[in-house]
Structure 1
Amino acid sequence: MTVCLMVGAALLALPTPDFTLRWTHSVEKIDWVESWRINGQSLTLTGVKIKGSGAGMEPADDAKLENGWWVWQPNTTVPKLTLAASGATGSGWHFCTDSGCQDLGTTASAAITVKPCP
């Protein structure tokens, strides 16, 4: 069974409903990783981990420190994600599935929308 996800104008067939987004905070230079799951026509944030804290990078109250990462499970559901693509952060978004990874938003362009296929 495959799951369809729209990333910008591209349709991606995913082997599982799970994917991750990883990026480095543009000011604090701290790594941030989010785990997502496609649930029908919505996306559920199932896990977050950050490699430190700083302005706008505070771990949740229930976060636990594991191997140098603050880790927690927010279980938040949204209809879509909008990823800024300023090109000014030094890197974009690292989008990964079981099939592999690709970088998004590494150059200045319009925001990238990530949502389940209709």
Structure 2
Amino acid sequence: MSLCLASAGVVKTLSVAAFTLVWTHSVEKIDWQEDWRVTPAGLELAQARVKGSGAGMEPPPEARLVDGWFRWYPRRATLPEVALGNSGAAGEWRLCVGGKCRTLSDIFGYPIGVTTMRVCQDP
């Protein structure tokens, strides 16, 4: 199973079964992390974490504070694709696999705008 990232007509394929998506909130400057799984049905959000709260970043009531992070397990349907915008107001989206994180611009090799994530279709 692979993850496909598409931006400005270019598609990058990453051979991953799971990854963490990380970003910094543009106003609060607080990190947010989401753990995703690549499944035959689509992209599955497994867990979310936020380092604090404020300005639209309030953790849900079921979140628990563990090691300085509010953690919870979102109940969402598996998604066929996820679009990631790049406002330029905060740092870039970072995609982490096995503890190593890279910005989407680093993955593509040039500055990116909107990027779409989806499960790659096998030929």
TM-score, scaled to structure 1: 0.85
1:111 alignment partner in structure 2: 114
Q: 1:87 aligned to 2:88?
A: yes
Count the aligned residue pairs: 113
Partner in structure 2 of residue 5 of structure 1: 3
Q: Distance in 1 between matches of 2:105 and 2:27?
A: 17
SS of 2:20's equivalent? strand
Which residue pairs with 2:34 in the alignment? Answer: 34
**Counterpart code for 2:15:** A
Whether the 8 Å CA contact 2:83–2:117 is kept in 1: the answer is yes
Q: List runs of 5+ in structure 2 lacking aligned partners.
A: none
Shift in alpha-carbon separation, 1:109–1:117, aligned structure 2, 3 A: same
Deviation for aligned residue 1:99: 7.8
Normalized per residue, which structure has more helix?
A: 2
| CA deviation map 1:18-71 (0-9, x unaligned) | 100011101111110000001114111000010000111010110001121100
- Which amino acid is 1:64 matched to? R
Equivalent position SS for 2:2: strand
Q: Which deviates more from structure 2 when the two are superposed, residues 40-49 or residues 101-110?
A: 101-110
Q: Output the CA distance in 1 between the equivalents of 2:73 and 2:81.
A: 19
| Identity across matched positions, percent | 42
The aligned amino acid for 1:4 is S
CA 1:108 to 1:87, structure 2 compared with 1: closer, same or farther past 3 Å?
Answer: farther
Identify the structure with the greater strand proportion: 1
Structure 1 residue ranges, 4+ long, deviating more than 3 angstroms after superposition: 105-109
